[in-house]
Structure 1
Amino acid sequence: MSKRQMILGMQLGNGYGSQPMAWKAPGVGPANYTNFDAQVRYAQAAERGKFAFLFLPDFAGMSKGPEQEAPMLNLDPMMTLAAIARGTERIGLVATGSTTFNEPYNTARQFKTLDVMSHGRAGWNAVTTSDPLVAANYGQEIAPRPERYERAHETIQIAQALWGSWEKDAWIKDPATSQFADAGKIQPINLQGKHVASRGPLPIPPSEQGQPVVFQAGGGDYGLGLAGRYANAVIGATFTIEDSKAQRDAVRKAAVDAGRDPDEIKYFAGVMPAIAGSKREALDRRVALGREVFPARVPYLGAMLGLPLDVSQIDQPLTREQLEAARPSPFDPRSQRAYEVAQEGWSIRGILAHGVIDYHPTPVGTAEETADHLQEWFEAEAVDGFWVSIDVYEDGIDTFVDQVVPILQEGGLYPTDYQGTTLRDHLGVPEQYGQDPRLS
């Protein structure tokens, strides 16, 4: 039996990085917000590090004013990945596509087109949409959660049926006999659900991996139900090994409950590393990136610690009285880490530079610190891999690839090269074409 190896994906967003002020970082092109050449260059750097996939979240709206911060998600994910597909060869291309405001035929057509364009490297992160700001852009209101997930189940089933409606051996393309395709193997699907429907067929042959891989990023019982039935990968958000292990176990159980092998579904936790030559240098990097945003985060940090904190104290550590009174909030899973960092005596700015309000754990320090974090979680079987959010793409991707990846490879935890050409190969998940026949 071969040794289990870590799988890495990389978040790709607005052309700058995962930190709000990455657009101002040294060496970053301020116009990268719409620079597809930069996106391709970052994808090529990740491919050099043998990342299994790029992961593009999506938000079809603008949640805050852009006076200082660039919106994190701006360009259409499918158009972005189409550009990246032509400039890369192996790395998987995973885009988020809402099942709430897209019709299944459009979704199936776009993702299978990306899949054949990229020679079998496409993935669909199938999610529901719950934000009223997005709904307003479609002239609609947000439906109740059960209804949104009913539609999601129908949309995925119809999309997969459409993907399989052009059978694998239907494309003859024989000039000698003048036969282009076997019409008997390209048939309508005629699926009618409560919320969506499609006649079909979809006139696109299979890619090298057959059809796109389904990802899922929703939480709770509804999200687990979706993941267990259809997904081969789950994009998670968790802050402790224990919670990550519980989430991975729940995902695997959901697959079993749906009649599938639990090894068919991979769980990825997020990580937002701060890497430099020393911990002090890494903190200084994050302090510089957070100079404009940290003051506004002081009150929230206080809420995490159960303390009234004032921005005037930002460059001072908590007083002895404050440390004694501090208590991690039970309502925010990041609070325990914030409490531990505060107890080490850092200033409030220094606490924030540790990434305690970031959306995922932030190992701070040398490349070894990040590699140790990844190894600890992986060897505890809390994850199958990670989706990595780089703080500043311009230099951060190369730092991760050139410093963290070799450490993981030397320890035998991470592959030294791609073992196949398709996203299914990279994830180690089985072939599927059309709907899964095991699911009723």
Structure 2
Amino acid sequence: MRRTISLGVALGDSFGVHPGAWRMPHADPGAYTDVGVQVRAAQAAERGGVDFAFLPDRVFLRDDLSAGPPIFSMEPLMVLTAVARETERIGLVPSASTSFTEPYALARQLRALDVISQGRAGWNAVPSYEPEAFANHGRPMPPREGKYERLHETVQIVQALWGSWEREAGDPDPVSGTFADMSRIRPIDLHGRHVGSRGPLQIPPSRQGQPVVFMPAAGGPSIQAAGMYAGAVIGMPNTIEDGRAQRDMVRRSAIAAGRAPEEILFFAFIGFGLGATHESALERRRTLEDRTDPRPRLAQLSAMLGVRIEPTAADRPLPAEQLERAAAHPRAARARQALALAHEGFSPRDILAHGVLDPNPGLVGTPGAAAHMMQEWFEAGAVDGFVLVIDDLHDGVDVFAGQVSPILRERGLLRADDGPTTLRGRLGLPEQLGLDPRIRGAES
């Protein structure tokens, strides 16, 4: 049976990741706290065969609110609980830091989301690293090894708590008068250097057993932890070669932990600006660019090309003397694309409209071009799936669901809508209840 692409969508805010999205005529500037926006986007993604909605988080305010709305303002678990009640199939993956919340509270909250959603929950388990986050929780910044020690302890205790109520405890039986078999609901009594819990949890397993653990691909300790616990890893490769290398590293980490490599799916963020034609896609992006302050955007483009671009020159192609001096910045992912567009005679404003400042791989173009790019990455073994990053949430998810998903389905690359409804089932991952016995007692 041919493998298919797994898909997620990032729903971190109510406008989209492009800085001009909140100023578009169709946008309600006050909607950054309206969870109905995420509900509608998740419903559209569900129609398009997307497997899960992913909510990143930031537990501090560093944003300049004079220029735009805060990033990730609402609490992910609460938002996705609202989404759960208005959807049927799409998975729900909130980010929750292992650095602050006690394992019992995490286990209970995530199990509740899993039960409410009929087995559609995941957990993006990440340690916090920002000084502002620790200051908000009244804690000093620990050393890096301390953060990962706590992550290992927290994940192991959370999973043990999920397994503390076994399926064999049974269903309530009013005839016999037995509500549950207490020999199958037992304390865990796990305690480490940083956290601990007695247990058991007071909520029974969901249809999928327990939430799917997601983790980022963020270096050595993160990859080691992912190999031990994760069912899915989200990386940030810029090229197919980067993706292959990161995916191979994750799979080797699984093998080192005693697991099969196919037990971990590797996802890459990807972003599109779509239109019926290439020109209409560019025009849509030009409109978004027109809603931003051009000065910082042009400063970024100047740094990518190594020449100074003044706002007064934004609508004219770069002059010959600048083109001769221009060079692609070696550490800017899309600098070569920007330089090529400059040599083709595009103005700085039009170069920006091609998405060269987008933080993730992707393109501004047609649904067919987007589907081709995804197919190329997938068939090259660079990814098992993608997490879609939406430039303008007003229409971005709907366009992908209505125009890209049908192309992927036609090519046999996207599962039909009649598949499993649990997140584990949709991702093709085995059921799990409790801590994986292959890593029990592992070094943290």
TM-score normalised to the size of structure 2?
0.95
Aligned ranges 1:60-75 → 2 under 5 Å? 60-75=59-74
SS at structure 1 position matched to 2:415: coil
Deviation at 1:436, TM superposition (A): 0.4
Counterpart in 2 of 1:373?
A: 373
CA offset digits 1:166-187 (Å, max 9, x no partner): 1111144111222211112111
CA distance in 2 between partners of 1:342 and 1:200 (Å)? 62
SS at structure 2 position matched to 1:125: strand
The answer as to 2:94 corresponding to 1:95 is yes
Deviation at 1:109, TM superposition (A): 0.8
> 1:370·1:404 contact (CA, 8 Å) conserved in 2?
yes
Gap change, CA 1:95 and 1:184, over 3 Å in 2: same
> 1:97·1:126 contact (CA, 8 Å) conserved in 2?
yes
The answer as to 2:36 corresponding to 1:37 is yes
Deviation at 1:268, TM superposition (A): 0.8
The answer as to 2:169 corresponding to 1:170 is yes
Counterpart in 1 of 2:346?
A: 346
CA distance in 1 between partners of 2:252 and 2:307 (Å)? 40
Counterpart in 1 of 2:401?
A: 401
Aligned residue pairs, count: 439
Counterpart in 1 of 2:420?
A: 420
Deviation at 1:289, TM superposition (A): 1.3
CA distance in 1 between partners of 2:391 and 2:128 (Å)? 26
> 2:7·2:388 contact (CA, 8 Å) conserved in 1?
yes
SS at structure 1 position matched to 2:168: coil
* Structure 1 counterpart of 2:337, one-letter code: R
> 2:114·2:121 contact (CA, 8 Å) conserved in 1?
yes
User: Please, which runs of 5 or more residues in structure 1 have no aligned partner?
Assistant: none
CA distance in 2 between partners of 1:32 and 1:156 (Å)? 34
* Structure 2 counterpart of 1:308, one-letter code: R
The answer as to 2:353 corresponding to 1:360 is no
* Structure 1 counterpart of 2:295, one-letter code: P
SS at structure 2 position matched to 1:272: strand
* Identity across matched positions, percent: 50
CA distance in 1 between partners of 2:274 and 2:394 (Å)? 14
SS at structure 1 position matched to 2:65: coil
> 2:294·2:311 contact (CA, 8 Å) conserved in 1?
no
CA distance in 2 between partners of 1:154 and 1:343 (Å)? 54
Deviation at 1:124, TM superposition (A): 0.1
CA distance in 2 between partners of 1:218 and 1:149 (Å)? 14
> 1:50·1:418 contact (CA, 8 Å) conserved in 2?
no
Counterpart in 1 of 2:160?
A: 161
Moved more, 268-277 or 297-306: 297-306
> 1:215·1:232 contact (CA, 8 Å) conserved in 2?
yes
> 1:125·1:216 contact (CA, 8 Å) conserved in 2?
yes
CA distance in 1 between partners of 2:349 and 2:75 (Å)? 35
CA distance in 2 between partners of 1:386 and 1:421 (Å)? 19
Gap change, CA 1:70 and 1:161, over 3 Å in 2: same
Aligned ranges 1:225-264 → 2 under 5 Å? 225-264=224-263
SS at structure 1 position matched to 2:437: coil
Moved more, 205-214 or 351-360: 351-360
CA distance in 1 between partners of 2:46 and 2:109 (Å)? 23
Deviation at 1:251, TM superposition (A): 0.9
CA offset digits 1:142-192 (Å, max 9, x no partner): 222221111111110010000001111114411122221111211111111
* Structure 2 counterpart of 1:412, one-letter code: G
Aligned ranges 1:95-244 → 2 under 5 Å? 95-244=94-243
SS at structure 2 position matched to 1:124: strand
SS at structure 1 position matched to 2:390: coil
Deviation at 1:72, TM superposition (A): 2.7
Gap change, CA 1:247 and 1:69, over 3 Å in 2: same
Deviation at 1:241, TM superposition (A): 0.8
Deviation at 1:285, TM superposition (A): 1.5
Deviation at 1:437, TM superposition (A): 0.7
SS at structure 1 position matched to 2:394: helix
SS at structure 2 position matched to 1:295: helix
CA distance in 2 between partners of 1:258 and 1:314 (Å)? 53
SS at structure 1 position matched to 2:150: helix
CA distance in 2 between partners of 1:7 and 1:343 (Å)? 37
CA distance in 1 between partners of 2:423 and 2:162 (Å)? 16
Aligned ranges 1:301-312 → 2 under 5 Å? 301-312=301-312
Gap change, CA 1:29 and 1:262, over 3 Å in 2: same
CA distance in 1 between partners of 2:317 and 2:102 (Å)? 53
CA distance in 1 between partners of 2:91 and 2:418 (Å)? 11
CA distance in 2 between partners of 1:228 and 1:57 (Å)? 21
Counterpart in 2 of 1:410?
A: 410
SS at structure 2 position matched to 1:394: coil
> 1:217·1:234 contact (CA, 8 Å) conserved in 2?
yes
Please report the RMSD computed on the Cα atoms of aligned residues, expressed in angstroms. 1.5
Gap change, CA 1:310 and 1:145, over 3 Å in 2: farther
* Structure 2 counterpart of 1:193, one-letter code: G
Counterpart in 2 of 1:335?
A: 335
TM-score normalised to the size of structure 1?
0.96
Counterpart in 2 of 1:320?
A: 320
CA distance in 2 between partners of 1:433 and 1:403 (Å)? 38
Gap change, CA 1:174 and 1:387, over 3 Å in 2: same
